[in-house]
Structure 1
Amino acid sequence: MVRKGYLSRVAVALLLGLLLGGGSCAAYGQPSKVMLGSGSSMPPYVIPDKGRGIALDVFRAAMTASGVQVDTMYADNAEVVQAFNDQRVDAVFVTNPKLTPDAHFSRLPLAVFHNLAISLHDENIDVQQIGELSNYRLGAFKLASKLMPSPFPETVSQTADYREYSLQLEQVEDLYRGDRQVLVMDKTIFRYFLSQMKRKNPRSPSYRRAVHFNDLFAKRRYHAAFRSEEMRDKFDQGFDAIRNNGRYERILRTYENLLANYLVR
């Protein structure tokens, strides 16, 4: 028989753990959780209405391998970074040490974006250097001026008509509408939104116009950023695990097959 006094001491210890420790629940079998702040406009890396995407699936798989549940908050890049710095989310991945100086970054990148200078072929725009972008009505993704390396920030500061978009679909729409002459945008994200627009408007002659790509930028590797070293280490361990057991490659292969059927040529 368990003594009544012993039960009282256990109950007091549990209560003190909840009030003072905040993390004692994990010691009694409840799983850890992490709140990921994610940009809301970068398919196929993040597809909010599906709750999926290449980066999201990899992040969740890595965290699950370390016994951590993931909740996601979607917003534009600037709002997500602000939420991280305000300690409203635990992790982000489209950031850098300057924007989130207190972050602990993963050892390996979670996503790799290939930004290009994109224009319509019949506009005869052929940009050979980043500095030449200042001559055009330029559109880029949110926080591009802070995420892209020099000389892009200096260039856009001298650009008379420069806009950053929270919704990258609007970027593509503005290119075909004529409001923007050049976009700075990841090639796959651009192709995803253009495919979406063509499927919704299959008879539109506008979306049949050929596109010209200028490869001016190095690929950008975005590492998962965490507010705690402990959670960062759990991600790294989980990421290693899914790379070793084949889960990572299966996620990438799944999306390669899906995109092969979805993206227009």
Structure 2
Amino acid sequence: MPAKILSHLSLLLICFAFSSHAKELKIAISQDAPPYVINQAKSGLEVDVITQSLPDYTISFIQMGWGEILGAIERGMAEAEANVHGNNGDLYYSNDYIAFINYAISRKKDQIKINQLKDLVGHHVITWTGAHKDLGPEFSQLFSPGKIGAKNYVELESSQDQVKEFWREDNSIIIIDKSIFSYFSSKDGHSMNEVDIHTIVVPVLTFKMAFKNKADRDAFNHGLRQLCNKGIYEALLKRYSVAPEANICKNLSQ
């Protein structure tokens, strides 16, 4: 066999050896919530950030409700968890890697006046599972179980279900990322012209990844820095039409 062909075969074998030994990583992530998670976690801003931060890994996403992600490692379902807010337990936590731009949204026809968090009390308030822990101490004091606003407050696992509930119930208020709300509302035939946007919650809410193994966390942080340093993160925001305020790179630890 000619030396040139042997050389090509050797290169192919080397490439195959490296690809076949790529570390597999199962990651718990939310159900579809465009533009962050799209098409059963095959694309989307969050999906792309994770996969491009771990180029030497073969990643399998396991989709579940917002409230089910936390604890997926402990239950043996995954080696990493997306959308983690705060550091709890014996896991390894990444730098902030994703940000959601949250607002309180009501229907214009309902003419609801909201100037502070207390104004939400008494309304049918819809948001994601665990939001009463994520949205700050004042929100927690109002909407945690047993608190004054808990009676008409509901947390749902699926972003799509949150939006459907909002449009189904009169005088309701939803707290959600604006891009996610716009996508699912448009899908159901509704327009952003039908709603009022209220800035009363912390608008930019950041999340970390949690990993079972330190080496995987370190690899992710390194890859995330590369996305920021090379301008890839900013390009992904533009690709998915997410507001520049969601760029976590300016706060990334060096």
Q: TM-score, normalised by structure 2?
A: 0.78
1:147 Cα offset (Å): 2.3
Equivalent residue, structure 2, for 1:34: 25
Cross-structure match for 1:158:
148
Q: Structure 2: which 5+ runs fail to align?
A: 1-16, 243-254
Deviations 1:58-91 (A, max 9, x none): 1100101xx1221100000111112123242122
2:45 aligned with 1:62: no
SS of 2:59's partner is strand
Is residue 2:238 matched to residue 1:247?
Answer: no
- Higher mean alpha-carbon deviation, 145-154 vs 52-61, is at 145-154
Question: In structure 2, how many angstroms separate the alpha carbons of the residues matched to 1:103 and 1:216?
Answer: 32
Q: 1:226 — aligned with what?
A: 211
Residue of structure 2 in register with 1:210 after alignment: 194
2:90 to 102, 106, 123: 102
Q: Distance in 2 between matches of 1:189 and 1:31?
A: 33
Query: After superposition, what is the alpha-carbon deviation per residue over 1:4-40, rounded to whole angstroms, capped at 9, x for unaligned?
Result: xxxxxxxxxxxxxxxxxxxxxx999711121110010
Corresponding residue for residue 131 of structure 1: 118
Tell me by how many angstroms 1:171 deviates.
2.0
Aligned residue runs from structure 1 range 103-118, under 5 A: 103-107=91-95, 109-118=96-105
C-alpha spacing 1:211/1:237, structure 2 compared with 1 (3 Å): same
1:47 and 2:38 aligned: yes
Gaps of 5+ in 1: 1-25, 199-205, 258-265
Measured after TM superposition, the shift of residue 148 of structure 1 is 2.2
Matched, 1:83 2:67: no
Aligned to 1:135, what secondary structure does the other structure show? coil
Alignment-derived partner of residue 4 in structure 1: none
Q: Which amino acid aligns with 2:173?
A: V
Partner of 2:54, secondary structure, is: helix
Structure 1 residues 189 and 223: alpha-carbon distance in aligned structure 2, compared to 1, 3 A threshold? same
Structure-2 residue corresponding to 1:185: 176
**Which one of 141, 144, 166 corresponds to residue 128 of structure 2?**
141
Whole-angstrom CA distance in 1 between matches of 2:70 and 2:91:
11
Letter in 2 for 1:101: G
Alignment of 1:16-35 (within 5 A): 30-35=21-26
CA distance in 1, matches of 2:213, 2:41: 28
Provide the TM-score with structure 1 as the length reference: 0.75
- On the 8 A contact 1:41/1:166 being kept in 2, the answer is no
CA contact (8 A) 2:82 2:209 kept: yes
Deviates more, 1:158-167 or 1:185-194: 158-167
Distance 1:29 1:165, change over 3 A: closer
Q: In 1, are the aligned partners of 2:110 and 2:171 still within 8 Å (CA)?
A: no
Larger mean Cα displacement after TM superposition, 172-181 or 153-162: 172-181
Deviation at 1:208, TM superposition (A): 7.6
CA distance in 2, matches of 1:208, 1:239: 33
C-alpha distance 88-185 of structure 1, shift in aligned 2 (>3 A): same
Measured on the aligned residues, the alpha-carbon RMSD in Å equals: 2.4
Compared CA separation, residues 163 and 179, structure 1 to 2 (3 A): farther
